[in-house]
């Protein structure tokens, strides 16, 4: 069974999740019917041996939208900390983005992310230059985490090159990999990947919002860039 079918089948049987059209189509095939029967048989055997199987408790992700001078953004947090800042076009796109990355319960709650929203509002109003927020970096790899934590050390109002950041983490030949890690930053703005520039000092490589235009806006807000 393909991994994507296995995970979807587990979610359907254990969590009661609605099957996607793709899973429905697959379950209608002979192979799908065999796999579902085998899965239900194995689950029944486990239930008889150990009692009713209970799915592991899913983490809860709280999220809300926030209007900013650079456009609407979405923020999401777990009980551990801020897990995502997204430039998704709308709530449906944001929900799809998050469900593609996290197996969790998603709850819309402005109250639960009020602290994050307050600090972001202060930042955009020019009243805050350093964020004081717990972070949940579960969406990052160990290398990406190393890069992002180094980026956090770049002071507001200053910039660094990709090569310079690579040197800071002790991997001077990894400038390209550093750029790729920053491009997948799940918590932009708060983790300031926008403060990292090309070796010639130009803006390039920003995937959030309107790309380089948004990067320039953030740096202008911080006093680190002038057109």
Helices marked H in 59-190? 91-99, 114-124, 142-151, 162-168, 175-183
Rounded (5°) CA angle 110-8-5: 145
Of the residues 50, 74, 89, the one at which a domain ends: 50
Q: Are residues 116 and 38 in the same domain?
A: no
Render pLDDT for 155-168 as a digit per residue (tens, 0 to 9). 999 999 999 999 99
Of the residues 139, 154, 189, the one at which a domain ends: 139
Q: Are residues 171 and 208 in the same domain?
A: yes
Render pLDDT for 62-95 as a digit per residue (tens, 0 to 9). 999 999 999 999 999 999 999 999 999 999 999 8
Q: Are residues 85 and 145 in the same domain?
A: no
Structure tokens at 126: 């020019």
Structure tokens at 110: 């402005």
Quote the number of domains for the chain.
3
Q: Are residues 16 and 82 in the same domain?
A: no
Q: Are residues 190 and 114 in the same domain?
A: no
DSSP three-state, residue 108 = strand
Between 105 and 85, the more confident residue is 85
Residue 17 pLDDT level (bands cut at 50, 70, 90): low
| CATH classification of the domain holding 98 | 3.30.160.70
pLDDT at residue number 102: 87
Structure tokens at 189: 């703005």
What domain range is 209 assigned to? Answer: 140-227
Q: Are residues 219 and 172 in the same domain?
A: yes
Render pLDDT for 113-152 as a digit per residue (tens, 0 to 9). 999 999 999 999 999 999 999 999 999 999 999 999 999 9
Q: Are residues 198 and 164 in the same domain?
A: yes
Enumerate the active-site residues: 193
| CATH classification of the domain holding 209 | 1.10.10.10
β-pairing, 105-108 vs 160-161, is unpaired
Of the residues 90, 110, 139, the one at which a domain ends: 139
Q: Please state, in angstroms and rounded to a whole number, the distance separating the CA atoms of residues 187 and 181.
A: 12
Q: Are residues 218 and 174 in the same domain?
A: yes
């Amino acid at each position: 069974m393909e991994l994507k079918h296995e995970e979807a089948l587990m979610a359907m049987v254990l969590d009661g999740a609605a099957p996607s059209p793709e899973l429905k189509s697959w379950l209608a095939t002979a192979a799908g019917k065999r796999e579902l029967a085998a899965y239900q048989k194995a689950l029944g055997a486990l239930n008889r041996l150990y009692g009713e199987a209970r799915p592991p408790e899913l983490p809860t992700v709280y999220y809300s939208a926030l209007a900013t001078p650079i456009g609407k953004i979405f923020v999401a947090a777990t009980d551990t900390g801020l897990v995502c800042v997204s430039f998704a076009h709308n709530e449906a796109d944001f929900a799809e983005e998050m469900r593609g990355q996290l197996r969790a319960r998603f709850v819309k709650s402005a109250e639960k992310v009020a602290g994050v929203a307050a600090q972001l509002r202060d930042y955009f109003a020019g009243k805050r230059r350093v964020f004081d927020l717990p972070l949940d970096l579960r969406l990052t790899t160990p290398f990406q985490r190393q890069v992002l934590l180094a980026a956090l050390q770049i002071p507001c109002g200053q910039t660094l090159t990709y090569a310079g950041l690579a040197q800071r983490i002790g991997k001077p030949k990894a400038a390209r990999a550093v750029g790729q890690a920053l491009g997948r930053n799940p918590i932009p703005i708060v983790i300031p990947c926008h403060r990292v520039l090309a070796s010639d000092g130009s803006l390039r490589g920003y995937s959030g919002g309107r790309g380089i235009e948004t990067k320039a806006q953030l740096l202008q807000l911080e006093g680190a860039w002038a057109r």
